[in-house]
Amino acid sequence: MTTPAQTRPVDLRPLGTSPLRVPAICLGTMTFGEQNSEPEAHAQLDYAFERGLTFIDAAEMYPVPAREETTGRTEAYIGTWLKTKRRDQVTIATKIAGPGRGWTWVRGGPKSVDADNIRQAIEGSLRKLQTDYVDLYQIHWPARSVPTFGGYQFTPAADDQVTPIREQLETLGALVREGKVRAIGLSNEHPWGLMQFLRLADELGLPRVASVQNAYNLLNRTLDFSMAEVLHREGVGLLAYSPLAFGHLTAKYVEDPSAQGRAKLFAAFGQRYTKPNVEPAVKAYAALAREAGLTPAQLALSWVFHRWSVTSTIVGATSVDQLKTNLDAWDVRLSEDVLKQVEAIHLRYTNPAP
């Protein structure tokens, strides 16, 4: 593998069958308003823009962790920055929060992602973002019982907060017709849900889902044997989030148990990384990286950046220096030998953090 002296620009790729073309790396913003101040957020946005990362992902519930005092700051910080740019130069994605989290300060703690909640959410996001439209509008997690954020078993008995997919899709389709949304997407979704959205879109003449935003990294490749075929055959883009597995794939936590980071600051959001095989898998990938003359982060990021199934990888940071280091991994190409060794480790520690 080589790291060229001059940084190559990231690819521009079609986002599913939508009219959008997006960079192969997307700026994640869930730290804006919690770990990052507004000037720090703007500095990251400026740097990303200069590097050609004109694709920005947010959510109405951000920053993480969700708190009444901070919810909405992320979109507000992006909004003040967006006013300094020509709107058609930037692709803005955001998400409506799903039910079941008990956040009474988000639309009264919605019980569903129904028509009323979708409209309330998009209007709130448009106000904070200071724009007339969102390029990609996503459902943050399904409005039904599915394993998410570290869960790994479907539980039918918990299925008490279901919103009919047809109602969700019809409302999103109306927003597209009204010009408030250019394309629609899902997040933390499963194959059955995606196929229902696609089937109904084709039957009813409604917009097809352009993308699915799911966790995808060396510790969590469940997508490979479930969702990947659907995405490929149906022409849906993958937005891969958490390529560094909440920082674990930098190996900083196994090398220095006192190291600080998101996994320590927001432990409740990192439950999927407390499972038994996470630590040995991280150590194995870190050792492979160093044998190849790379940092653990370069190995992890390059693997996701250049994976055939990934349309764009969502990369977040808490400083411009960290963001630069992460973006520079785009230039790293893993050799066939290294990729074979990645697969060998994967077979030894298969999906330790689903």
Q: Please give the positions annotated as active site.
A: 62
CB 140 within 8 A of CB 168: no
CA distance 12 to 64: 29
187-226: string of b/e by CB count within 10 Å (b at 16+)? bbbbeebbebbbebbeeeebbbbbbbbbbbbbbbbbbeee
Contacts of 152 (CB under 8 A, 6+ apart): 354
Of 229, 254, 184, 220, give the one whose Cα is nearest residue 16. 184
Place of tokens 């956040």: 103
Reported residue count of the chain is: 354
| Burial of residue 256, with CB atoms counted within 10 A of its CB: 0-12 exposed, 13-18 middle, 19 or more buried | exposed
Tell me how far CA of residue 211 lies from CA of 11, 88, 131, 176, in angstroms: 17, 20, 22, 15
The whole-angstrom distance between residue 1's C-alpha and the CA centroid of its chain comes to 27
Element (H, E) at 346: helix 336-348
CA distance 98 to 117: 9
